[in-house]
Amino acid sequence: MNSYPQEENFCKFLQTCIDRDEQAWDEFVAKYSKLIYSYIIKTLKRYNFQFHSDEWEEVYNRIFASLLENDCRRLQNFRGTNEKSFTAYLREICFHNTVDFLRERKPFINIEDVPETSSYDAGFNNLEIKQLRSIIEKLKKELNPRHQLFFKLLFEEELSSEEISRIMKLKLNAIHQLKFRLVNKLIQIAKKKNLYQDLEIFIRDF
């Protein structure tokens, strides 16, 4: 397997995937399979559902099918320039595909009846959640009003990108770009306040 391309070659790497280059897709699968499985499992745990490995595999296959369909339209729609922004984009794709998988089982599983934890509460104990929320509140105060609204819609109200685009009157691609800018801004503020180490897990899970 080739070494993973440096950031300056990342867009070129994605383009080779869009062009259905077999070697590029082998590299893509090797690089992101573990990450995709972890996103699937996190989403299932978030709704307190446990599934067999064959069902994880079904969601996994669905995600790759969604990446390949319509001439790799989802890869073409990516507007970032590096691996970090792409993994955030991929996380969103995994989340929505996993939720769709759950919704299809609505006759047996009604996910609307399951209490959801906040996306930035998952995986933390009560004390950690309290500390994390305190840190986030400090950082949010330094965001501009537009970023504060976006943060609220995305991470507190947990609306979909499509819903946010309608509320903020932005194109879907602009929503993805705004998310990456928001994360980078939070990182800058956290580092300035010497809070980045405490916030690192939260930032990574964006």
Residue 128 pLDDT > 70, yes or no? no
Phi, psi of 19 (to 5 degrees): -80, 5
Domains of the chain: 7-113 (1.10.1740), 126-204 (1.20.140.160)
pLDDT recorded at residue 156: 72
User: Going by C-beta distance under 8 Å and a sequence separation of 6 or more, which residues neighbour residue 138?
Assistant: 193, 195
DSSP letters of the chain?
-PPPPPGGGHHHHHHHHHTT-HHHHHHHHHHHHHHHHHHHHHHHHHTT----HHHHHHHHHHHHHHHHHHHHHHHHH----SHHHHHHHHHHHHHHHHHHHHHTTTTT--GGGSPPPPTTTTT--HHHHHHHHHHHHHHHTTS-HHHHHHHIIIIIS---HHHHHHHHT--HHHHHHHHHHHHHHHHHHHHHTT-HHHHHHHHHT-
Burial environment of residue 69 by CB neighbours within 10 A (0 to 12, 13 to 18, 19 or more): exposed
pLDDT recorded at residue 49: 67
Q: Render pLDDT for 141-179 as a digit per residue (tens, 0 to 9).
A: 888 888 888 888 877 776 777 888 888 888 877 887 787
pLDDT recorded at residue 166: 86
The model's confidence at residue 27, banded by pLDDT at 50, 70 and 90, is very high
Of 92, 114, 113, 204, the C-alpha closest to 158 is 92
Q: Quote the tokens at residue 100.
A: 């769709």
pLDDT recorded at residue 100: 84
Of 81, 74, 93, 114, the C-alpha closest to 36 is 93
